Structure 1
Amino acid sequence: MVTTRALVERNPKTLRMIAFDGDERPRSLQLYGTDPAVTAAAVRMVVEENLADHIDLNFGCPVPKVTRKGGGAALPWRRRLFARLVRAAVQAAAPAGVPVTVKMRKGIDDDHLTYVEAGLAAQDAGAAVVALHGRTAAQRYSGTADWDAIGTLKQALDVPVLGNGDIWEADDALRMVAHTGVDGVVVGRGCLGRPWLFADLAAAFDGRDVRKLPALGEVAVTMRRHAELLVEWFAGGDRPDTAERDGCVDFRKHVAWYLKGFPVGGELRRALAMVSGLTELDDLLGKLDPAEPFPVETLGQPRGRTNSPGKVHLPEGWLADRDSDEVPAGAELADSGG
């Protein structure tokens, strides 16, 4: 995910983030923006320079630095602005035939739900697909996702609907499809420390019962490759001399997700979570028992953020006027991400 402002201003970090390898297809970019004009300019840049095959618009981010500017999960409340932004993106992408999809949440909180109205507006504006995370912004990543709401949206729309929320294993995806009737699923936190989940999903939707349950030795090989790829990515940046350290530092946050449920001692876990180089990582991974079987008791358990519900930070007066299509002052973030 990158911000539209950073993209049109050609922020060097953003341009590196959206670079794909030659064999990666289809290429998807998720854009976050609040200004229809800036969003349209970003989409035109993507299609004219052939930067991606698919554009997704993010209206699901619940973090305060985004919602307090009226962006992310806060924006669909301003229904006219939301519709105008989606339409601007769709029209900008149309000449190249690049599909534009929309990802959103149920609403700001239980008293300010927007998902059905926003889904219909996105469909009317030309969105090819609508994805719904079955939580409000106030829920953040707490509790359980409301799959019933996803089913409600599926019934309301003619375009395909994707469901998001609590897809921890491939069988969760099958259950969601059966429960809601959605056309597919969106995976978020479920793949953290479990990159093989996508192979499991492919097998599940193909009707095969095969599931990947790697022993610790195979997980260690995957961890090493992950860290190596991060180092290679940082080596292409503006500080190649610190690439190995930067890549390993970035890798640290993945250690707990990869090792979740495996009987690895606290001292070794801490050392892995402080790794600074590939040689050090090799030494530490060599201390793991490669024959240790996958901890099946962890299947279906949450991974990643599991925070508590909280207040949604909004611009002053945001809830008072649903029909204003004015772009909030200072809403466009100049930095990358969201």
Structure 2
Amino acid sequence: MTTPLTYGPHTVDPPVVLAPMAGITNAPFRTLCREFAAGRGLFVSEMITSRALVERNDKTMRLIHFDAAEKPRSLQLYGVDPATVGRAVRMIADEDLADHIDLNFGCPVPKVTRRGGGSALPYKRPLLRAILREAVAGAGGLPVTVKMRKGIDDDHLTHLDAGRIAADEGVTAIALHGRTAAQHYGGLADWSAIARLKEAVPGIPVLGNGDIWSADDAVRMMRETGCDGVVVGRGCLGRPWLFADLVAAFDGRGPEGYTRPSLREVADVMLRHARLLGEWLEDEARGVIDFRKHVAWYTKGFSVGSDLRGRLAVVASLAELEDLLGTLDLSQEWPAAADGPRGRTSGRNRVALPDGWLADPYDAAAWVTAEAESATSGG
């Protein structure tokens, strides 16, 4: 048994959070994860750009849609300009768009870091502080949390300074992915960094992220680092029932309570996922096209065959998806090969940054502009 997390008036029990993933953690995927968890835990939206939200971009307004059953409604916000982030947070609070705001300081992709955002931003300590101050002040009592990485690379680590700044500015909790931006998703996550952050900010909950491929990994991370909760990302790709396992583990029912679905059961989830996407997008064909990226994750480890796997990855309708799934040997039991790492595992040696970004960690004025904000959200 573990101690539940408290985010303002909201209790997160078990202390498990679905990591925001661009193009993945939209309303349909969150629905699947939440249902497997019997509504327990916290399920965060994909990244929303503060400028796009303030400008009421059509795609962004769709991305902030929450199902009526989602409680609390958790929205991740990305921004580089303190004023724009502040306006976005006030809009969320004033218009009751969400119940919890998570700020993204962990994204390592070039289109984000080259603007000085995501995992690049905490290097500029005054800019980080200014954004956090605006966000907490504008939240109107909504809990504000932070997700970040260790730093830009091993020569520019920021997580301890950033954690102390976040605690000083009144954030509710901090989540740390134990990799640098340069690592991207390669190598192993450094769980010891999570433990050091927990020691550095003893008055605030710290959540760990990175290399949680099973419920047992989550339990082990909390035991080894002393963190207060876990954030699960790539481990649930094509496996939303991982959240059922996490509930079982934290309730003391693992591993006998873990889910090991047959291919027939996996196929049923695949069809439901595709249907939910079509309903959400109000277009069956678009929903099926969006679903294609999930096929390899769902079928990992099963005997499917390269030809059928390829055909599944280009389906154009629900009927075609259902027909192709029907040709598989659906009696297959859960394969051991389906456990373990999934999703992106590549590293990246060089981080795309604005010119001169690393010259001075305390000089941020030149980058504090609305033009640094992206005009679109999501993946």
Task: Give the TM-score normalised by structure 2.
Answer: 0.85
Provide the secondary structure at the position in 2 that maps to 1:276: coil
The equivalent residue for 1:132 is 176
Distance in structure 1 (CA, Å) of the matches to 2:343 and 2:148: 19
Distance in structure 1 (CA, Å) of the matches to 2:116 and 2:365: 11
The equivalent residue for 1:5 is 51
Matched, 1:313 2:341: no
Deviation at 1:296, TM superposition (A): 2.2
Matches within 5 A, 1:143-222: 143-157=187-201, 158-209=203-254, 210-222=257-269
Contact persistence 2:262–2:333 (CA under 8 A): yes
The equivalent residue for 2:186 is 142
The equivalent residue for 2:20 is none
Deviation at 1:24, TM superposition (A): 1.0
Matches within 5 A, 1:1-338: 1-93=47-139, 95=140, 97-157=141-201, 158-209=203-254, 210-235=257-282, 243-299=283-339, 301-326=340-365, 328=367, 330-337=371-378
- Kindly provide the amino acid, as one letter, of the partner of residue 277 in structure 2: L
The range that moved more, 260-269 or 220-229, is 260-269
Provide the secondary structure at the position in 2 that maps to 1:132: strand
Percent identical across equivalent pairs?
63
Contact persistence 2:120–2:353 (CA under 8 A): yes
- Kindly provide the amino acid, as one letter, of the partner of residue 182 in structure 1: C
The equivalent residue for 1:239 is none
The equivalent residue for 1:240 is none
Cα deviation per residue 1:85-120 (whole Å; 9 max; x = unaligned)? Answer: 011101101x3x210000000000000000000000
Provide the secondary structure at the position in 1 that maps to 2:222: helix
Distance in structure 2 (CA, Å) of the matches to 1:172 and 1:68: 33
Distance in structure 1 (CA, Å) of the matches to 2:366 and 2:271: 45
Distance in structure 2 (CA, Å) of the matches to 1:190 and 1:249: 22
Distance in structure 1 (CA, Å) of the matches to 2:361 and 2:345: 31
Distance in structure 1 (CA, Å) of the matches to 2:97 and 2:248: 30
Distance in structure 1 (CA, Å) of the matches to 2:53 and 2:197: 31
Deviation at 1:327, TM superposition (A): 5.5
The range that moved more, 301-310 or 217-226, is 301-310
- Kindly provide the amino acid, as one letter, of the partner of residue 190 in structure 1: G
- Kindly provide the amino acid, as one letter, of the partner of residue 128 in structure 2: F
RMSD: 1.0
Distance in structure 2 (CA, Å) of the matches to 1:219 and 1:112: 43
Provide the secondary structure at the position in 2 that maps to 1:69: coil
Distance in structure 1 (CA, Å) of the matches to 2:378 and 2:279: 21
Moved over 3 A (4+): none
Task: Give the TM-score normalised by structure 1.
Answer: 0.95
Cα deviation per residue 1:191-247 (whole Å; 9 max; x = unaligned)? Answer: 100000111111111111210000000000000000000111111xxxxxxx22211
* Number of residue pairs the alignment of both structures matches: 328
Contact persistence 2:79–2:117 (CA under 8 A): yes
Distance in structure 2 (CA, Å) of the matches to 1:38 and 1:202: 37
Contact persistence 1:35–1:327 (CA under 8 A): no
Q: Give unpaired runs (5+ residues) of structure 2.
A: 1-46
Contact persistence 2:145–2:172 (CA under 8 A): yes
